[in-house]
Structure 1
């Protein structure tokens, strides 16, 4: 074996041994609170990717959409048409705040979505619940972040994963979460005059 190949193999063997030692120490399991936030695209997409992964593992799951409920989205079509036996889908929103232009309606829709979310999270048979765009409802104080945090701390079953998406996640939610990912905007076609397109945006 040439020296460069031998050196490469030895280096990778050392890395693998170190990784194996670290992995051997990680034995705990728990239901995670996961937040996808930030100004970049991909927050809901990441959440739905996790839902599809749960479905692939045969894990009962559920989705509550807080803002985009009026949209005919690809993920909604896919889940309701093919995976309704494993995943409940509840579209509770009425559109973005600048579309409804009615705070009372927005608050009522957010409250209804949160009540449904609490019922789903309390059910120990459901392993993952996606609260899509709940951060928007929290940002505009349609929901009380202290209430949401307290519920997740005190009533979420120990092995249930809850995924919360939307930009401007409240600090209290970030502090509570086990996993937080911030999507950073680098470029977006909308700024170049390109509209949202099926399969990419919805």
Structure 2
């Protein structure tokens, strides 16, 4: 490791534009996409902002760690799906749940009453063809100017990356699954 001297000045010019709602994408094969989105949701909610989280692949009755905490603090989180596709007994039903969920999420985004809307795991229904990418892009373009939207999931389409203001790709360097360590409560759920 190379030791560095701490910076003594900001090192970059300060932005001069106006503040506005952002489209933020967390994608890639590495861990942390949803976790990063939930961190932003907590930050905004902690500032008294209206926040809503939609999870496209989780069932409405999901009780993962985030659900338990968000319920305690009053941060709305909704499962819109019926689990991951390999667990589905009826993929057309799964697709319809995604479409119905998207209709609700799009209406909430367009209404402009929320500071931040998280669309967790939305890349999957987009990639599976259950949601029309053009509809998602149109909603993001048409949203009120103060509304921030975070979208998560592997394989973000190029068109979404181009539209977004901030895109972070999570890249795995090392993962405990590869060493045979299973998922653990409080880490993966």
Structural mapping, 1:64-83, within 5 Å: 64-69=54-59, 71-82=62-73
The structure in which a higher percent of residues are helix is: 1
Scaled by the length of structure 2, the TM-score of the pair is 0.91
| Residue-by-residue CA offset, 1:111-135 (whole Å, 9 max, x unaligned) | 1110111122123221000000001
Structural mapping, 1:117-196, within 5 Å: 117-154=105-142, 156-196=143-183
* Distance apart, 1:186 and its partner CA: 1.1
Larger Rg: 1
Find the aligned partners of 2:112 and 2:58 in 1 and give their Cα distance.
27
Unpaired stretches in structure 2, ≥5 consecutive residues: none
| Residue-by-residue CA offset, 1:51-89 (whole Å, 9 max, x unaligned) | 00001110011001000235321111111122x2xx322
Unpaired stretches in structure 1, ≥5 consecutive residues: 1-7
| Residue-by-residue CA offset, 1:121-172 (whole Å, 9 max, x unaligned) | 1232210000000011111111010111011112x11000000000011111
* Distance apart, 1:105 and its partner CA: 1.2
Find the aligned partners of 1:164 and 1:97 in 2 and give their Cα distance.
19
1:60 to 42, 50, 56: 50
Find the aligned partners of 1:73 and 1:93 in 2 and give their Cα distance.
14
8 Å Cα contact 1:71-1:95 kept in structure 2: no
CA root-mean-square deviation? 1.7
Scaled by the length of structure 1, the TM-score of the pair is 0.85
Q: Runs ≥4 in structure 1, deviation > 3 angstroms?
A: none
Give the length in aligned residue pairs: 184
Find the aligned partners of 1:91 and 1:68 in 2 and give their Cα distance.
5
* Alignment match, 1:4: none
Which SS does the other structure have where 2:108 is aligned?
A: helix
Find the aligned partners of 2:99 and 2:39 in 1 and give their Cα distance.
26
